[in-house]
Amino acid sequence: QVHLVESGGGSVQAGGSLRLSCAGSGYNSSNYCLAWFRQYPGEGRAGIARIWTGGSIQFYANSVKGRFTISRDSAKNTLYLQMNNLQPADTATYYCAAHAASYYNCDLRPSDYTFWGQGTQVTVSS
């Protein structure tokens, strides 16, 4: 059974930085699509960044491009999201997610993802 555990959320002022971590267990990290989603109250989860483990190819939503960086440490089976220049609009619950995939099946559709973390809150004050 795949298990994902997030950490690193918290409160920060606008312009600040946070790094989220997602420790994974129970899966072979080759050929998996790993992603970060965020969810505002009353809305569905929106994908913001994903990485395909077969080649570490990354993709970002326009809302975070240039400010957020997704990365992974394969030895530790841990996924990261470095978030810089945070803004109040980034306030949300953040989730990591994973599913087995080829490069061509690695996207940011929530319905594609089989495994989810429990979520971590990020709050950015102005």
Instruction: Calculate the CA dihedral of residues 97, 25, 66, 88 and round it to 10 degrees.
Output: 60
Tokens of 44: 């569905």
Chain segment 77-115, per-residue pLDDT in tens: 999 999 999 999 999 999 999 999 988 899 999 999 999
Identify the pLDDT of residue 25: 86
pLDDT at position 56 is: 75
Tokens encoding 13:
């002022």
Distance between CA atoms of 90 and 1, rounded to whole angstroms? 31
Share of the chain above pLDDT 70, in %: 98
Query: Do 81 and 19 form a contact (C-beta atoms < 8 A)?
Result: yes
pLDDT at 29 over 70: no
The residues that bridge with 79 in the sheet, in sequence order, are 22, 72
pLDDT at 24 over 80: yes
51, 74 contact by CB (below 8 A): no
Six-digit token string for 12: 């920060």
